Structure formats: C-alpha cells, structure tokens
Amino acid sequence: MNPYKVLNIDYRANNREILEAVALAMREKKFPIREVAIAQKELLDPISRVVHNFLNFINVKPLKEKVVLSRLEEPTIPQLNRLSVFDGNEDS
Amino acid sequence: MGKKKKALSPELMLARAEKLFHRGNYPLAKKEFEKALQGLSSPKRRIAGGLPGGLTGRRVSTSGPEANRMVEQKDVSEKIEICNKEIQRLKAEDLVKRAKKYSRKDNPREAIRCFERAYGITGEDWIRGKIDRLREILFAHDLRRAAKDAEITGEYLKAAELYEQAFTAQEKKDLLVKKARCLVKAEKYGEAVSLLQNLTLPGPRARYDYGFALAKVGKYFQCLKIWDSIDSQDDRFLSQKKAIGSLLAANLHDRFSRAEGFASIYEEGKYLLNSTGAQGLSGVVEYCKYAWIEELWKEERYKAIADLLEDSPAEMEPALLALHAKTCFKLAEKSKDSLDDFTMFWLTAVFSEKSEDFSTEAAEGDKPRRELIQMAEDLIKSKIKSGDSAAEEALIFWNLEKKLVEDLHELIGDQVNFSNSVCTPRFAARFGKSAQILRVVRDKRSLFENPEHYLATGSYYSAAWQSLYYLECQDYENALISLPETNDGNEFEDYGVKKVNFAYGLHCLEKGQNPPREYAETATALFDMVPSYEKQLIERALNAHELDKMRYYEKLLHDIHRTRPSKQIEDPLSLVMTRLAIDLYDRRLIIPKSLEITLTEALSLNPENELARNNLNDLQLVLKIKELDQAIGRNKMNKACKIAAESEDYEVRNHFFDFFKGAVESLDEMGLGYENKIGALRDIYKWCIRVDDAHPILYDIEDMLEDLEGR
C-alpha cells in the first residue's frame, strides 16, 4: 500500500498536512477507513516514512545533473531532391 | 491420264455422312449429307424408285416409293440442321477460349472482340457479364496508359488524377502507389504521405518516395526508419540519409530545448544514435531517458522503466541503483517473474544508500535499512506461500546474499574510499565489480572472524561464484559443470573450486557412490586451507552405517591418511574400518582371518579403539578354539596340547578338557578291550597333564586306571 496515494499528498507534506489529508480522506471515503488509518500511522512514524519515501518516490535529479549536454553545430540545410536511383525498381 | 473418279451412290454418301456425324466431325458430315441430299433429289433417282432402307433403317413400303423418298430427304435435312448448330457451338467455344487467353495476356480489347462474337452466336448471359467487366478493365487500361503518358511528359498532377481514376475502376493498390509517386514528383508531399502511410509498400522505389515525402514534411525520424529498410549502397542515397540524420538531430535538440515530449525525443534520439552514432546527441538522449522515467513512474509503468534501464552503465551511482531496485520491487510485487533482478538490486541498493540518507532525527542508525530488507524478505516469502517454486530458490540466494552484504557493510561501513563496494555477488559479476570487491576483502582480511570466513566471502565474488550458488541449492551436478575452466591463481577462486569439489565428492559418498578421482588430494588441500572441512568429512564418515557408504568412506580416509597421516584422521579411519570389517564378516563376505588382520590394523592406528579390541579378542578366542578342534580332529595331540597350554584364555583350556572329559566318559560305550582302554586312558592322562597338571580330570583318570589295573 502506498500511503501517499491513499492520502493524496506529496512526499514533502508535513505532519499538519498529513492530518488534514487524513480528515479529507475520511470524508471522501475513496479508500477504506482502515487503510486511511494505516497510511496516517505509517507517515507519522519517522522510520516507516523514510521507508515509504524510498519505496514510492524516485529521484532522478542527480542522474539528470550528471548528464553532459553538448551543443549541436547548426546543421546546414541540405538541398533535398528526389533521386531517380530507385526508379528502375518497378513496384508492381 | 488418271482414271475418271466414279460417282458414289447416295446410299454410300449417306453411310459416310452418318459415320462422320457420329464421330462429331460435323463440318464434314454436313458436306456429305448435303451431297447425299442432292443425289436423293435427282430425277433419275426419283424414277428408279425408293431405297430398300432409309437413314434410320426403316422398312419402306414398296407401295409408296415417293413417300419414302420424302421421308429420307426430311431426315437428311434434320441432320444437316444439327450439324449447323454443332458447328456454331464449336465456333463459340473456340471464341471464348481465345477471349480468355487474351484476357490472361492483359489484352482486354481483343478479349472483348472475341467474347462479343461468341455472344453473337450463343447469346449467353455470362458472356455478356464478361464483356461488361472487360470493358471496365479496358477503361482502366486506357486510364493507366494515359496516366503513364502524363507522368512521362511531366504532368504529374494530371497523372495522379488519372491513376486515381484507374484505381476507382480497377481497385489495384499499385495504382495508388503510382499516384503517390506522381504526388511526390508534383511536390504534393503532405498528400503523398497521407496516401502512402496506409499502404503496404512493395519495393525500394515506393519506400524511397515515402521517405522522401516524410522528410519534406519534416518527419525525419519516420523517413530514416523507412529508408533504413532499403538495402542500397548508392552514394547519393547514403548522402541523403546522412543529411536527414543531421536534420533529425537538430530537430531533437530544438524539441529538447522546448522540453517537448521527452519520450519521443528519447526514442528518436536512441534510434539515431544506434543507426548513425550521431555526435553530440547522447547527452540529450540520456537526459530524456531519466525525464521520461519520471513520467513513467507517476503512471506506474514499471515494466517500461525496467526496459529503459536495461542498458545502464556498469558503474552505477546510488540514485541509479535505487531506481533499479525500486522498479524491480514494484515489478516483483505485481508479477511472478523479476525476483532474480529484484533480489540482486535490492540489497545492493539498500546498502549503497548512505546511513545518513536514511536517517532522520528520530530514526536511529540503520533502522529504515533493516525495515526495507525485511519488507523485501516478506515479499519473497509471500510468493513462496502463494506457491511460486522459483521464490524458494530466490530465498536461498537472498539469505546468502544478505549475509554477504551485511558482512561487507560491517567491514566497510560508510567509508568514502570504499564507496560502492557493498554489493551482491551476482551484481558484482554482472557489472564487473568482482575485482574491486576482492580487493576490499583482501584489504580487510584482519577483520574477518577466521580464514574460512575470509575465504568464503571472497569466493562468492570470484569466478567460482556461479558454482557456489548452485551449491547453495544443492545442485551438485551444475555446481561442478559451471566451475571456471582456468584458475587465475587467486585464493578465493581456488577455495571456491575446492569447496565445490569437496561438496560434490561428499554428495557422491552420501549416495553410496565412489567420489571422483583425485578427491583425496583436493579434499586434503581444502583441509589445509580450512580445517573445519576435515571435521565435516569425519563426522559424515562416522555417521555412515550402510555397507557401501562405509566402504567408500574407508577408502577415502585411507587415501587421505596415506597423503597426509594425522591422528585426527587415524582415529575415524580405525573406527570406520573396524565397523566395515565386522559388517562384512557378519555378512560372511570375509573370512575370520581377514577380519583379524583388519582389526589388528585398526588397533595399530588407534590402540584405544575399544570396538576393534573387543572384537579382536572374541575373534582370537574363536580362532584358537577352532584351531584346537582342528588339531584334535586330525589327531595332532601334541599341537592340541600346545594350543591349550599356551593359550591365555581359560575358555580354550576348558574346551580342551571338556573334550577329553567327554572322551573318558564315553570309553565304555566305545567297546574297547581291556588293554586298549588302559592305553587310551594313559594317553589322555599324558595329554591332559601337559596342559594342567592339577586339573581334576587327572584324578578321575587315575581312579579309573587303578580300578582297571587292580582288577
């Protein structure tokens, strides 16, 4: 179970936002009350929150930052004329 | 001068005509009938009177010759009529045949002409239908010809229109391909693309035109893909392809700068990189891959992410490693497969994260790490519960790898100079990190519990790792087969190979089979490295009680003892050989003498072998008594006396005296004479006194002799 999905919150949500999300989830009843309660418990516990952060979110920022983006030379627009080289190859 | 041809009679002519008619030769039959009819109508014939029989063989009344003649003429006329009809039918058939031939030869005009003539004869509806269809084809033919002429003269739009009309008439897809070609020539690229994208393109000419039109409307990627399917080394074509590659690269850079569709930029860029190795594009492609992965993660499309991650570099930084592990975890949660990759990445990733990355103010130490490991373990176990047999093997590897990475992590901790050195053996082998891990293991040798721990840890990261994994699953055959062919001399690989060989041999022994040759040598070498294996072997040998097992264990212990004698091996060898010899003796597979020799040998190896000693004593007593019996039985009394006198066992002497006691008691029953009886008693007395001069039997004999002699 992904508690962030159950409570529909971002991984940066603080405890107050978590509690607000819990109240909303209880009212909306999209998920069973038991699941909402578990989600609340999991996210308010610092260790299990770290675990869920690891499990449910990815961080590709360091990977993107490592990419070396080279500039492309301005391409010379070629004159594109239809070639007759294949005209001998009748299609049917 | 030739003879004048004699005129045939009408009867003969009719007979000939009949013959031809029945053979189906209607044109000739018709001629003959006509001649015959002429003959029948001649005045001469009318005077001469009627024929004896008509065409049908009817008897004609002589009373009405004129009436008969008229009937005959009518019959002949009917026959001529039949011939005429048959001739027309044959003519129509021939015309249809010719029409079909023309049709096959794609000459609709001539085909129509023939069909029309045939229709004129027969008036059949199907011929009319054929004529109508051929007229349509002829129309299309004319259109095609006109289109071709227009194309040749450079009127491409007109040609395209004519091809379209021809297609409407004939519905041949090649006409649309030709139309598209004319559109390309007329520089109507958009229309050409719309038309060609729904067609199966038959040959390079159409594919080139399609690609060309695509390029002209800015669809460079699609153009390259279609052109790559053309097998041509033409310089001008290759040069155009290269130009399209450059245009695509520029287009991708442009879209990237506007952050427009990372997925398509990645796919197109990847294609371009793979096909042309375009310079300066790899960074864009790599960046778009990660940006796309971000999107896919939100959409929970984990399989697609796993596919994208397939070509990851060998040197993985923690973020990439974590991405692999999380993706595999999500896949493992949902599907049956992926457990192998999941277990391989998970432990490596979880231990690659620095402790501080996991820690929060309240979270102490590596509790989150522990929890993540437990979570993964629970996932594997849940799969086992749901009946996934592959998960059982996965759990075996998991437990092994967990211990290994925990050990490595304990040795290294979060030391920066050893970063990325905590990984599972499978990960190390797959991403070429084995040598790096072995360096760490060697470097930290002093921190290992004992030599075995050191060697065992290293061996899983050596070239022998695969075999050792098989060994974990008790798959001894595969473990042996997958041993590295050559040993590069490192101690871990050497240990791994020896361990596998040792386990395989032990497996053979446990099955009651002979272990491989040289087993004693390799096992001994392993004992030198890690003495605990010797204890393991001894324990197994001492627990063997089946005959075959004992036989092979005894032989192995003998061989090991011969190679490297030690007290440690002598004692179990002594016991195993004792047990084996007793078992063989009990099964009457060896003679007592052989048992005695073996027991003596066992005692020489271990004088404290109580089993051998007790059995040897018992055996020797039995043997002495047997020897005594043999001597007495062969009447070798001196020898018998000697055996009894020299034996330290009172049982032997008792046996000796019991025999003579019985002999004395049965003297009366033997029916001996007086003299003989005295002689026998004196002999017995003489033999008994040599063994024990105070034995009570002597007094009995003396009494008996006194009685006899005093009589």
Longest dimension (CA), chain A: 76
How many Å lie between the alpha carbon of A44 and the closest alpha carbon of chain B? 11
Burial class (CB in 10 A: 0-12, 13-18, 19+), A13: middle
Q: Per-residue pLDDT for B453 more than 90?
A: yes
Domain end among B67, B92, B123: B123
Q: Per-residue pLDDT for B140 more than 90?
A: no
Strand ranges (E), B261-411: none
Nearest to B208 among A46, A68, A83 (CB): A83
Nearest to A92 among B202, B204, B363 (CB): B202
Specify if B240 maps to a domain: no
A12 CB within 8 Å of a chain B CB: no
B96 touches B130 (CB < 8 A): no
Cα–Cα–Cα angle for A23, A28, A30, rounded to 5 degrees: 115
Domain count of chain B?
A: 2
Contacts of B293 in chain A (CB under 8 A): 58, 60
Q: What is the mean pLDDT of residues B46-70?
A: 52
Q: What is the mean pLDDT of residues B605-625?
A: 90
Using CA atoms, how far apart are residues B164 and B176, in angstroms rounded to an integer?
7
pLDDT confidence of residue B362: 45
Is the C-alpha dihedral spanning B589, B591, B592, B595 positive or negative?
negative
Question: Residues in chain A, how many?
Answer: 92
> Are residues B323 and A89, on separate chains, in Cβ contact within 8 Å?
no
B708 CB within 8 Å of a chain A CB: no
Q: What is the mean pLDDT of residues B295-320?
A: 89
CATH of domain A3-60: 1.10.287
Residues 359-398 of chain B whose Cβ lies under 8 A from any Cβ of chain A: 359-363, 367-368, 371-372, 375
> Are residues A83 and B236, on separate chains, in Cβ contact within 8 Å?
yes
Report pLDDT digits (tens) over B216-243.
Answer: 999 999 999 999 999 889 999 999 998 8
Cα–Cα–Cα angle for B597, B602, B606, rounded to 5 degrees: 150
Alpha helices (runs of H) in B360-488, residue ranges in sequence order: 367-385, 389-412, 425-430, 434-443, 451-459, 465-472, 476-481
With a cut of 70, which residues of chain A have pLDDT below it? 72-77, 89-92
> Are residues A60 and B174, on separate chains, in Cβ contact within 8 Å?
no
Q: Of B49-53, B101-105, B698-702, where does mean pLDDT reach its minimum?
A: B49-53
Question: B47 to each of B10, B41, B42, B50, how far by Cα in Å?
Answer: 14, 11, 9, 9
Q: Per-residue pLDDT for B504 more than 90?
A: yes
Using CA atoms, how far apart are residues B95 and B121, in angstroms rounded to an integer?
10
Dig out the tokens for B226 from the structure.
């279609």
Residue with token string 């010797």: B534
> Are residues A83 and B234, on separate chains, in Cβ contact within 8 Å?
yes
Contact pairs from chain A to chain B, CB under 8 Å: 130
pLDDT confidence of residue B40: 73
Specify if B700 maps to a domain: yes
pLDDT confidence of residue B57: 43
Residue type, B386: S
Give the mean pLDDT of chain B: 87
> Are residues B237 and A83, on separate chains, in Cβ contact within 8 Å?
yes
Cα–Cα–Cα angle for B512, B515, B518, rounded to 5 degrees: 160
> Are residues A51 and B368, on separate chains, in Cβ contact within 8 Å?
yes
> Are residues B247 and A69, on separate chains, in Cβ contact within 8 Å?
no
pLDDT confidence of residue B60: 43
pLDDT confidence of residue B15: 87
Q: Per-residue pLDDT for B346 more than 50?
A: yes
Domain end among B67, B88, B123: B123
pTM: 0.68
Domain end among B123, B142, B174: B123
Report pLDDT digits (tens) over B657-680.
Answer: 999 898 888 887 877 788 888 888
Burial class (CB in 10 A: 0-12, 13-18, 19+), B638: exposed
Contacts of A92 in chain B (CB under 8 A): 172, 174, 177, 202
DSSP B210: H
Q: Per-residue pLDDT for B640 more than 50?
A: yes
Please give the residue range of the domain that contains residue B59.
10-123
Specify if B311 maps to a domain: no
How many CA atoms does the CB half-sphere of B32 hold within 13 Å?
Answer: 21
Question: B622 to each of B158, B232, B502, B637, B640, how far by Cα in Å?
Answer: 124, 99, 42, 19, 15
Q: Per-residue pLDDT for B645 more than 50?
A: yes
Contacts of A59 in chain B (CB under 8 A): 319, 322
Spans of all domains in chain A: 3-60
Q: Per-residue pLDDT for B279 more than 80?
A: no
A15 CB within 8 Å of a chain B CB: no
Using CA atoms, how far apart are residues B614 and B600, in angstroms rounded to an integer?
11
Q: pLDDT tier at B44 (50, 70, 90 boundaries)?
A: low
